[in-house]
């Protein structure tokens, strides 16, 4: 038996219901810090270096996020069907 329940609530209500912490203030500080660090960035190498330093868990977090994005892209792309030709 399958039961489907649909709950209409805001993200704030869902977070509270699930007992998750409110990280809004921490996120605001992180975004502010990132935007201040990005001012004056003149090339992509400099931008990448800043992102590595400021990202959670440093280089490990950056690599984890990068592999996550690559996996998501691979999952979105349908697999190639083998070319079967009749003889």
Per-residue pLDDT tens over the stretch 56-69? 666 676 677 777 77
Res 2: pLDDT: 93
- The residues of the chain scoring below 70 in pLDDT are 37-38, 40-42, 47, 50-59, 61-62, 75-87
Question: How far is the C-alpha of 14 from the C-alpha of 73, rounded, in Å?
Answer: 28
- CA 18 to chain CA centroid, Å, is 21
**Helix 44-54 with 58-76: angle, nearest 10 deg:** 110
- Domain extents for the chain? 7-39, 43-76
pTM, two decimal places: 0.38
């Amino acid at each position: 038996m399958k039961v489907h329940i649909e709950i209409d609530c805001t993200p704030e209500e869902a977070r509270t219901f699930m007992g998750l912490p409110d990280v809004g203030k921490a996120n605001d500080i992180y975004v502010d810090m990132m935007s201040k660090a990005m001012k004056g960035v003149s090339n992509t190498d400099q931008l990448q270096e800043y992102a590595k330093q400021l990202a959670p868990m440093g280089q490990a977090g950056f690599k984890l996020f990068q592999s996550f994005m690559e996996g998501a892209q691979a999952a979105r792309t349908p697999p190639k069907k083998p070319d079967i030709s009749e003889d």
